[in-house]
Amino acid sequence: MATQVYSLAISAEATLDLHSLNNEGGEGNQIATRIVNVVGEDGRLHQVNAISGDMYKHIQAEHLQRIAKQRGLSLCKGCEEFNANRILADAEFIASFDKKTSDRDVVDKLLGKCVQDDMEGILITANSKALGRKSVVEFGWVAGIPEQVRTESYFHVKYVADSGKLGENTGKDASNLGQNIFHRPASSGNYAIVITLEAARIGFNDIRQEYPVDDQSRRARYGAMMESLLYTFLQPNGAMRNTQHPHLVNLKGTVAFSTDVVPAPTVSPLNSQYQKQLTRIAKSLNDLRGGEVVQLREFDSLGEFAEILTDLTLKGEPYKLNYGK
């Protein structure tokens, strides 16, 4: 019998070396690194470099779209092309409702139309609507752990020999020739990661409180989502990977999941005692509910993490709510 997963949470600590996933732009010939303020477990403010949760969610959504296309799961026209507007770029969907159509009917249409918009969320603004579909997966900032991260800037130069007077007499464009000096950052250290997945909401209409999507489709969507989460760690796409592909040295943490209407707990690895805290929280919740409704799976490597997510993908299925019954 498959394990029904109501919710899932990942609390992980990743060791990433020599990456530039946390860039936020440039000024002149200097590329800027995203810096944030966090309160450490010592109760003091610390400045650390960080990777936006938006970037990690974009990575996950890209993997999900490829899996969905490969498996023939339902995608709207926008998501088939990985258009940033997603279902709002689907003329057929936009024509299927007007401002008089009830919000719950519009959400039904969306859920039946597209796996990506169901699970990644979307704000429908067409036809005088302002209707939000909340994402079932949530990513926190990938924040550097205080005193365990550092960013350094490296000098780079591009030089094209014998550029001479190419642009003066030949009529050819001489831009981007000659010597270009710039400074490129690289960050290394230990980073805290928190991710949550509301598996029970896959295919669920929050307004109608029912599932317009059948059980088989929900299981297929759950499998695609879980696989895309794994691939997010295996291949963290992002800025400047052509020459600064991240060195993922290690990944350790805890996967928590619940099999009843109890949120899977997460504690940030910004707290060095996060795994002990998760163990105590899980015990308390299980005592409260009178059974083992919250389970924890600890891992000390990317390999163990892959095994846990694979097991939950193959042996699990999304919990089915019955609020509307």
Q: Where are the domains of the chain?
A: 3-146+186-318
Q: What is the pLDDT of residue 175?
A: 58
Question: Are the beta carbons of 107 and 131 closer than 8 angstroms?
Answer: yes
- Cβ neighbours of residue 9 under 8 Å, at least 6 residues apart? 194, 195, 196, 197, 255, 256, 257, 263, 264, 265, 266
User: Tokens 């993997």 map to which residue?
Assistant: 63
Q: What is the pLDDT of residue 151?
A: 79
Q: What is the pLDDT of residue 171?
A: 53
- Cβ neighbours of residue 165 under 8 Å, at least 6 residues apart? none
What are the backbone dihedrals phi and psi of residue 256, each rounded to the nearest 5 degrees, phi first? -110, 140
Q: What is the pLDDT of residue 166?
A: 46
Question: Are the beta carbons of 139 and 60 closer than 8 angstroms?
Answer: yes
CA distance 198 to 134: 10
Q: What is the pLDDT of residue 168?
A: 52
Dihedral (Cα; 79, 81, 82, 84), 10-degree rounding: -90
Residue 69: CB atoms within 10 Å: 14
Amino acid at 78: G
- Per-residue pLDDT tens listing for the chain (325 residues): 899 999 999 999 999 998 877 766 556 556 677 889 999 999 999 999 999 899 899 999 999 999 999 999 999 999 999 999 999 999 999 999 999 999 999 999 999 999 999 999 999 999 999 999 999 999 999 999 999 998 776 555 665 555 455 445 545 555 555 556 556 678 899 999 999 999 999 999 999 999 999 999 999 999 999 999 999 999 877 655 566 678 889 999 999 999 999 999 999 999 999 999 999 999 999 999 999 999 999 999 999 999 999 999 999 999 999 875 5
Q: What is the pLDDT of residue 162?
A: 54
User: pTM (2 decimals)?
Assistant: 0.89
- Cβ neighbours of residue 243 under 8 Å, at least 6 residues apart? none
Q: What is the pLDDT of residue 34?
A: 82
Provide the pairing of β-strand 35-39 with 7-19. Answer: unpaired
CA distance 101 to 91: 16
Q: Which helix (H) or strand (E) holds 25?
A: strand 23-27
Residue 271 sits at the vertex; the CA angle it makes with 270 and 273, to the nearest 5 degrees, is 145
Amino acid at 116: Q
CA distance 20 to 186: 5
